Structure 1
Amino acid sequence: MRGQTGPVLTDRLPCGVQLVVEPMDHVASVTLGVWVGTGSRDEDPTEAGSSHFLEHLLFKGSPRWPATRLAEAVDEVGGDMNAYTTKEYTTFYVRLLAEHLDLGLDVLGSILTEPTLDEADVRAERSVVLDELRMHADEPADVAAEQLAAALFPQHPLGRDVLGSEDSVLGLDAQGLRRFFERHYRNDNLVVAAAGALDPERLAVAVDQVFGARRGGGPPTRTPPGPATPATVISTRPTEQVQLALGVRAPGRNAEQRHALAVLAHVLGGGLSSRLFQEIRERRGLAYSVWADRVLFEETGYLALGAGTGPDDARQVLALLQAQLEDLAARGPTPRELAVAKAFLRADTLLGLEDSGARMHRIGAAQLLHGQVPPLEQLLARLEAVEAEEVAALAAELASGPRVVSAVGPLRPDQLP
């Protein structure tokens, strides 16, 4: 295999799968993941929710690994097996003792190359997915987040809920899901990532054998979203609080500004010392929960600022969210704010890599989304190099762009500007 700076090894196997491995000789576990380069943004409107539905459905098993036997086999060795779907990829993974790696690969490989996908399982799992949709609909904070994304990316798949809608989920059937699987779950659209106590060469041979029958395919073709437009979306509900979110478009995950964006988000709302926490909660007592977050996609992204507050305070809190972004644009972060943000992000990165699962997710995501796994030292050095002027310039760019406001709670449309 081709070596890379540090312990990470990458290879394109003969079967077409990209393999990325990080051996860890000081642990007893191994985490193995299969990353599919397709998510909800790659679905046609009639397919909305297919990636997430398949995430559920593949755990119904394969002819060799029926669902009950699969679950018992993983439980029996103390393993943890799970999956999740995002707007741009779907990940399946298993974490277990290194001595059981062959079992983990056999199980994951089987459900990802020969899933049963029969109509009876689709009918049963449809009810589960619909319950999940309804669960999220009962959470005002989730609704506010989904409204924000929909308004930031109107009439575009990035604005759709990963789960789809009740109508789209009701329209999915085994035949259509099978077509979706055959189109997207092929080797040239897969990354297999592993971290832990393992032999890279032995794993490469085994992965090539397991996935050898799924040659072909490729990453989906994507259409960028159109220009952003200002919007305010309010869902009136008889709740005690208003869940409030303000969003602006931001650079995507390949932009050089992504490092400055990480610092910017932390300065605004990333911790107890952040501007939003100190101004809105500590000084004014207007909210219990207040935050900032950044979401990155292939060619775009967004910054979201939010809080849960009382209905009578919603207008004031919204003004404070906007004012803090504008102030950061005008004056930039202080030297102390910049140092705290960098130190926090560095520690958060390092502390998050202390087990095989975290390391698998880092290398798998990097290989799938960027085509390489940069050395950790390189990432930390670029973060440390972010200057106050970069953050201020990016804040000015964001503050001058179209603003989207999302609110859920006991509000009338005239209560927000």
Structure 2
Amino acid sequence: MQATRLPNGVRVLSEELAELPSVTVGIWVENGSRYERPDQAGISHFLEHLFFKGTERRTAADIAEEIDAVGGVLNAFTGKEYTCYYGKVLPDHLPLALDLLADIFTHSRFAAEEIERERSVIVQEISQVEDTPDDYVHELFNLAFWPGHPLSRPIAGTAESVGRFSRDDFLSFLDVRYRPDRILITGAGNLRHDELVSVAARSFGELGGRASLVDGGPPQPQAGVWVHEKGLEQVHLCLGAPGIAQGDADRYAAHLLNLAIGGGMSSRLFQEIRERRGKAYTVYSFLASYLDVGYVGVYVGTSAEWVREVVEVIRGELGRVVREGLAEAELARVKNQMKGNMLLGLETSDSRMSRIAKNEIYFGRDVSIEEVARGIDGVRNEDIVHVAKRLFRPGTLALTVLGDLRGEKLNDQVLHE
């Protein structure tokens, strides 16, 4: 991995992989929904959409036609703590991808008519999530677990907040947040670092200023039970607890524990809830980590009459790992699973590009694959027990339920029975 910092603070990072048949370049901005005020909820995501709606020399159709003409991909995504605009092409078409990315990032028009059209699109996107209960229950869990904090809010915002934004709001937000000290240019695949630096300097070297800091620190978790009645065939539930930050010293043990609990078909909860009891089709655990905070949880889609039983099974498994950790063979299995997932997930240029950027954002340096593998291999069962005790402390569990409980009443007692 090679890294260069331009005089204005823009960071350029790349990994030259001549054996890959593709190349991916991304413009990352250390800005996401976490850095929005309540009245700005969803503005980062809205902006991401608008960057593809026309520049001073290209219409939205021109942008789409040019990347389609070479079989490439030009896309973007917004997270809680970053936004990425990226292009993936064959090596011969890298100049085009770089030109398109630079053009949309520095010369987008944000035309009034495009803003209104995209406003309607985003409202439909928000509605789609609300009509997808296995996604929506996660948003409801976040809102209840971290009340009042930007990390709890949906990335897309709400129909109400999205309906308020004006063109001036977008331009003001760009002026405050899209500054060179928050921008990374990352590339991976069949490319040359010096050429990427040259393009970055030409396209982004004139940007100036520094981004304003607006984050007020980590959220305070809220334990308890929240029930959202809705006429659905299934009941969807998320049961979670405070987790760890991205750079936490216990991160390898936490990820291994997550895999053992619900990270695949061989995991404890999948085997017990689905395979042995037949109480769910979908069951998995998850670990969400940010700069200074995180949470761990379990999702299950089940029937109303089985909710209490499912919660009891989950709590039982959490208690067991706190007391015992993992068996020797189980720990060895999830270590191999985690390393295999990592390596298989890095077979493409876009995944390599993302790895470079996230390492810079969360660690400020390259974290090699070899370093990660050593960290995984170094975890012992006492480390698993230690992190399990950290994560699943008494009185910290939170449960969000979405669906038709058919008269079943749930309260905090379900977390203590």
Q: Specify the TM-score bucket, using the shorter chain as the normaliser.
A: over 0.9
C-alpha deviations, 1:178-208, integer Å up to 9, x for none? 1111211121111110011111112111111
* Secondary structure of the corresponding residue to residue 56 of structure 1: helix
- The answer to whether the aligner puts 1:22 opposite 2:10 as a matched pair is no
Task: Work out the CA distance in 1 between the residues paired with 2:323 and 2:370.
Answer: 32
The residue that corresponds to 2:161 in the other structure is 168
Distance 1:196 1:334, change over 3 A: same
Give me the identity figure in percent.
Answer: 35
> What is the rounded CA distance, in whole Å, between the counterparts of 1:165 and 1:62 in structure 2?
27
**Residue 250 of structure 2 corresponds to which residue in structure 1?**
257
Deviation at 1:273, TM superposition (A): 1.3
Mapped pair 1:78 → 2:49: no
1:407 aligns with 2:401: yes
Aligned to 1:4: none
Stretches of structure 2 that go unaligned for 5 or more consecutive residues are: none
Q: Tell me by how many angstroms 1:260 deviates.
A: 1.0
Tell me whether 1:59 sits opposite 2:37 in the alignment: no
2:90 to 61, 84, 97: 97
User: How far does residue 115 in structure 1 lie from its aligned partner after superposition?
Assistant: 1.4
Distance 2:378 2:213 in 1: 34
**Which region of structure 1 is more displaced relative to structure 2, 10-19 or 250-259?**
10-19
RMSD of aligned residue pairs (Cα, Å): 1.3
1:211 corresponds, among 204, 207, 210, to 204
1:246–1:404 Cα contact (<8 Å) kept: yes
| Stretch deviating more after TM superposition (289-298 or 11-20) | 11-20
DSSP-derived class of the 1:287 partner: coil
Partner of 2:334: 341
Conserved 8 A contact 1:241-1:409: yes
Q: Which whole-Å deviations, capped at 9, do the CAs of 1:156-189 have from their partners, x for residues lacking one?
A: 0011000101110111111101111121112111
Cα offset, 1:219, TM superposition: 6.9
Question: Which position in structure 1 is the counterpart of 2:226?
Answer: 233
Correspondence for 2:135: 142
Once the two structures are TM-superposed, the CA of residue 226 in structure 1 deviates from its matched residue by: 4.1
Answer whether contact 1:113 1:214 (CA < 8 A) is retained: no
2:253 touches 2:387 (CA, 8 Å); kept in 1?
yes
Decide whether the 8 Å contact of 1:326 with 1:396 is kept in 2: no
SS of 2:4's equivalent in the other structure is strand
> In structure 2, what is the equivalent of residue 5 of structure 1?
none
Match of 1:243 in 2: 236
AA paired with 1:404? A
Q: CA deviation at 1:222?
A: 2.0
2:24 corresponding residue in structure 1: 31
Q: Is the 8 A contact 2:50 2:114 kept in 1?
A: yes
Specify the SS of the correspondent of 2:292.
coil
Question: Which of 289, 309, 314 is matched with 1:321 structurally?
Answer: 314
CA distance in 2 between counterparts of 1:267 and 1:350 reads 19
Query: What whole-Å deviation, never above 9, does each CA across 1:269-317 have from its counterpart, x for those lacking one?
Result: 0111111011111111111111000000110000011211111001110
Instruction: Give distance in 2, aligned partners of 1:164 and 1:241.
Output: 26
1:15 Cα deviation after fit: 3.5
- Report how far residue 254 of structure 1 moved: 1.4
Letter in 2 for 1:68: A
Within 5 Å, give how 1:299-310 maps onto structure 2.
Answer: 299-310=292-303
Q: In structure 2, what is the equivalent of residue 362 of structure 1?
A: 355
Distance 1:336 1:77 in 2: 48
Structure-2 separation of matches of 1:375 and 1:407: 40
- 1:49 is aligned, of 39, 42, 53, to 42
**Which one-letter code corresponds to 1:239 in the other structure?**
L
1:204–1:226 distance in 2 versus 1, CA, 3 Å:
closer
Q: Contact between 2:243 and 2:294, CA under 8 Å: does it hold in 1?
A: yes
Q: CA deviation at 1:147?
A: 1.1
**How many residue pairs get matched?**
410
Tell me if 1:201 matches 2:194. Answer: yes
Asked if 2 retains the 8 angstrom alpha-carbon contact of 1:234 and 1:413, the reply is no
* Distance in 1 of aligned mates of 2:49 and 2:304: 38
CA distance in 2, matches of 1:263, 1:221: 34
Tell me which residue corresponds to 1:377.
Answer: 370
Quote the Cα distance in structure 2 between the aligned partners of 1:316 and 1:219. Answer: 49
Q: Quick one: distance in 1 between partners of 2:359 and 2:111?
A: 34
Contact 2:188 2:353 in 1 (8 A): yes
CA distance in 2, matches of 1:293, 1:200: 36
Q: Residue 413 of structure 1: CA displacement?
A: 6.6
In structure 2, the residue corresponding to 1:407 is in which secondary structure? strand
Alpha-carbon deviation of 1:318? 1.0
**Residue 35 of structure 1 contacts residue 368 of structure 1 at CA under 8 Å; is this kept in 2?**
no
Taking the aligned partners of 2:55 and 2:362, their CA distance within structure 1 comes to: 28
Which amino acid is 1:84 matched to? F
The whole-number CA distance in structure 1 between the counterparts of 2:124 and 2:155 is 14
Q: Give the Cα–Cα distance (whole angstroms) in 2 for the partners of residues 229 and 292 of structure 1.
A: 19
> Would the aligned equivalents of 2:239 and 2:397 in 1 still touch at CA under 8 Å?
yes
- Pick from 369, 376, 379: which aligns with 1:386? 379
TM-score with structure 2 setting the length: 0.96
Shift of 1:133: 0.2
Which residue is equivalent to 1:297? 290
Q: Distance in 2 between matches of 1:86 and 1:114?
A: 23
Shift of 1:91: 0.7
Change in CA separation of 1:413 and 1:179 when aligned onto 2, cut-off 3 Å: farther
Q: Is the CA contact 1:15–1:208 (under 8 Å) kept in the aligned structure 2?
A: no
